Amino acid sequence: MTHRCDVLVIGTGIAGLSYAVHAARFGSVAIVTKKEQAESNTNYAQGGVAAVMSQLDSFSMHVEDTLATGVGLSHRDAVETMVREGPDRLRDLIAIGAQFTYAGSQLDLGREGGHSTNRIVHAHDFTGREIERALLHAVTTNPRITIFENHVGLELITEHHVHGKRPDGPIHCWGAYVLNTEERRVDTFLARVVMLATGGLGQVYLHTTNPPIATGDGVAMACRAGATIGNMEFIQFHPTTLFNSGSPSFLISEAVRGFGAVLRAANGEEFMHQYDPRKELAPRDIVAYAIDTELKKRGDDHVLLDLRHLPADQVREKFPHIYNTCLEKYKLDITREPVPVVPAAHYSCGGVVTDIDGRTSIGGLFAAGEVSMTGVHGANRLASNSLLEALVFSDRACRVTAGLLQEKGDPLPDVGPWDDSGTLNSEEWILIAHNRREIQQIMWDYVGIVRSNLRLERALRRMELIREEVEDFYKRTRVTEGLIELRNLAQCATLVIRCAMLRKESRGLHVTTDYRGRNDGEYQRDTILP
């Protein structure tokens, strides 16, 4: 089946939904999403949106906090654009019904690691869920937007599918082949503009805060289509997820430390003062590294996050989701017992390279949110900048989209249906489960918080073998969601490893035992994979 629209959006996180709401003013919009429409990394975001909403704050303060956390790699123009346009984009959310937490008549602004003042706009400790609710209401009540649930992006449609070969010059995107998992068929979606908003790739790792759908589909599809990819070595590990809470790991928000919680070793000793004068309010890369170091040094399997000295009624009021989940699901009263925590893969600072208007290196293809690399985050993301980045750059992409749709462009090309001739249905799904687990274990063991040349070389050799096995299986087998995800995980894992091998220094989220310090002379630049 072929679907035609003006704009195709792949993904239903904050970037995809906010883009779709605005793009619908200029044309018809189709949104494809892997699962239910509300399942995304956005929905799991607890902390909030960082924005200058107080007279005690300033654009320059937010810019400098972001640049400092990015450890010399954040692009100043992108950061300034995000910070200056952020408050207006937040007001757009409020205008469509997002209900944030207030203190009297003013927004209740929280504080998180790396921020020099209180600037985190939140809806208690389930901000992402509230933003998703408001955006979904705006999307589902708009007659120009159609959502296709249980549809998995398979391949972007480029000259390769139109003319049968890759062009020597620029590449253009006209849509995507998408697996309809309920009907078990591959549909063709043709569009004048395509927005990749597929989120992150946390499922590359054994322990992650990301939902099962976060398999790096957008990065993998864009890479296969020929897009420029960058900074994939910078994977942010959230310092504090609940120990032994399953997959995805239950996240204990950064805001809890901002409220005054203290990190302790398993024997009760505080340790953050040894790593940074900001202690628990240091940026995430420093806190995660400190915890990882303490675990290795002491032989423990977790550290403790202690809230017992904080007023219990205020903890329950500010963090109702965390408090109730820990109490009801894990039988842990965080006001009476220290919380066992460990780091887990949380956010990818790299991705599909874009300009400050969301344009990728492929014509007609935009990217926004975690799938993109705008240059904002550099070597480490400042807490709560992710939702802000998604709002600002999806809005900027929409402005360019409006101009493209108003132009009288060439008609959409004739594209043949997905060709699965010669493939078979296979019952060997144990291969998919095994390979997925193997990828996650390799990445966790060798490409985690601390790396080395030996670990990366070993990881690459094993990952190349897995990729060969997966590609062989893919070519012979009718596609399924599990097979698509496995192929994308193998692709993204390889990209992370290759970028890590190219950066021969320690900077931000990339720490290697072979190169202990920063080397600004050679490596104060992005890692770009053409």
143-158 b/e (C-beta count within 10 Å ≥ 16 → b): eebebbbbbbbbbbbb
Helix axes 14-23, 127-140, angle to 10 degrees: 30
Which whole-number Å values give the CA distances from 439 to 73, 232, 345, 448, 478, in the listed order?
28, 16, 14, 12, 22
Q: Are 420 and 479 in contact (CB under 8 A)?
A: yes
In degrees and rounded to multiples of 5, residue 523 shows phi and psi of -125, 20
207 vs 346: CA distance, rounded Å: 9
| The one catalytic residue among 89, 111, 284, 503 | 284
Residue 297, judged by CB atoms within 10 A of its CB (0-12, 13-18, 19+), counts as exposed
Which whole-number Å values give the CA distances from 94 to 37, 81, 319, in the listed order?
21, 20, 21
284 among known catalytic residues: yes
Helix runs in 96-227, H state only: 127-140, 159-163, 217-225
CA-wise closest residue to 147 among 271, 32, 256: 32
Q: Are 222 and 229 in contact (CB under 8 A)?
A: yes
262 vs 359: CA distance, rounded Å: 42
380-419 b/e (C-beta count within 10 Å ≥ 16 → b): bbbbbbbbbbbbbbbbbbbeebeebbeeeeeebeebeebe
Query: Can you tell me which residue has the tokens 């887990």?
Result: 344
213 vs 191: CA distance, rounded Å: 24
199 vs 39: CA distance, rounded Å: 11
> Residue type for 4, please?
R
| DSSP helix/strand/coil, 56 | coil
Tell me how far apart the terminal alpha carbons of the chain are, to the nearest angstrom.
33
457 vs 206: CA distance, rounded Å: 19
DSSP result, 382-411:
PTTHHHHHHHHHHHHHHHHHHHHHHS--PP
348 vs 278: CA distance, rounded Å: 24
239 vs 235: CA distance, rounded Å: 12
User: Which residues 6+ apart lie within 8 Å of 227 measured at CB?
Assistant: 171, 352, 353, 360, 361, 362, 365
Could you tell me the two tokens for 274? 């040894």
The catalytic residue positions are 284
